[in-house]
Structure 1
Amino acid sequence: MGMIGYLKQISTESLEGIIAGNMNIAEFIYSNESESNSLDLDKAWHAIHFLLNESAWEGQHPFYNVILGGIELGDDLGYGPARYLTSEEVKEVALSLSNLNENELKNRFSPEKMKELDIYPSIDWAEQGDLEYVFSYYEELKKYYIEASEKNSAMLLYIS
């Protein structure tokens, strides 16, 4: 199975309830009715972070927030606790992704550097289709952030 990255839209009210301790974050994340609001990034999450930040684990605001940013919330879900972005931070990410030159982003795809930095899932990254795999998930991520921004949603980020 491996480490799968997820994004989950959440209303500001529900997020405030989780922060206040009135709702359990794991129950919210894994409830059937909230699954329709989540995006599965499969194992492309780390490569997307690398392309946006040119780093394995570090990054610059707002692109760091896309995958690994946010404020930790709740217990460990398998690979650390979930993190959240406010609706304002989601809007900032969505705008930044919308303004990003995708050709420039594609030019950052470097199998050698990705292998050197041990970008998960630690594959060669030089196989035919690897760039397309990562970019198909990037396109979904971009649409998802834009949709969340339009709905004034906050975002949960987690790896499970």
Structure 2
Amino acid sequence: MNGNWLRVSPDELEQAKADLGWAYGLAMTRRDNDSDRWSATDKAWNGLDFLLDRLGVEISLVRGEEEFVEWPDVEPDSDEMFDFLDNLEDDWGYGPPSYLTPAQVAAAATRLAALTEDDLIRDVDPQELTRAEIYPQTWDRPGELAWVAHYLPDVRNFFAAAATNGDAVICWLD
């Protein structure tokens, strides 16, 4: 399970809202071309989300804040949920994507600019992540927190570039 981001212009966001299939194609093209408008955190997504939340970053960079598709009010592992996921227009992975508006991206970029890798993991007990069942649940291994923290400079740069251009960011897990 990997965290992904796609920078899109406000016009592209509007098109994505109208046609998630188009957005999926755009995301795969930019990923396959290793575009600077696509980025990923690999399996560190949940650890990064946890550590940013722990520092009081209120905008969910990993999961997004706005929904393209309304999730059904059913149990996560129910037949109804699997039917919902099977009926998505394209295989976004673990459910439909979400997004951050340009204003949310700008606020996130500002908050990230002030953070260092050390800030992210200072005084963190790896057992906190284990107790919280944070994926990939390998927190007992040496260096796992540093592994998550090493993504921060790229995340900071990605969101800074998005904010500078007035972009929105589409977020998804695959």
Q: Under TM normalisation by the shorter chain, which class is it?
A: 0.7 to 0.9
* Corresponding residue to 2:148 among 121, 134, 142: 134
Q: How does 1:9-158 map to 2 (within 5 A)?
A: 9-21=7-19, 24-32=22-30, 35-36=34-35, 37-54=37-54, 63-73=58-68, 75=88, 77-100=92-115, 102-123=117-138, 125-158=139-172
SS of the residue corresponding to residue 63 of structure 1 reads: coil
Structure having the higher Rg: 2
For the aligned residues, what is the CA RMSD?
2.3
Indicate the percent of aligned positions where both proteins have the same amino acid. Answer: 27
Q: Which amino acid aligns with 1:89?
A: Q
TM-score (norm 1): 0.83
Stretches of 4+ moved more than 3 A in 1?
A: 32-35, 100-104
Runs (5+) with no aligned partner, structure 1: none
Q: Give the stretch that moved more between structures: 44-53 or 93-102.
A: 93-102
Structure 2: where are the runs of 5+ without partners? 70-87
How many angstroms does 1:43 deviate by?
0.5
Kindly tell me the number of residue pairs found equivalent between the two proteins.
Answer: 152
TM-score, length of structure 2 as denominator length? 0.77
Match of 1:8 among 6, 9, 13: 6
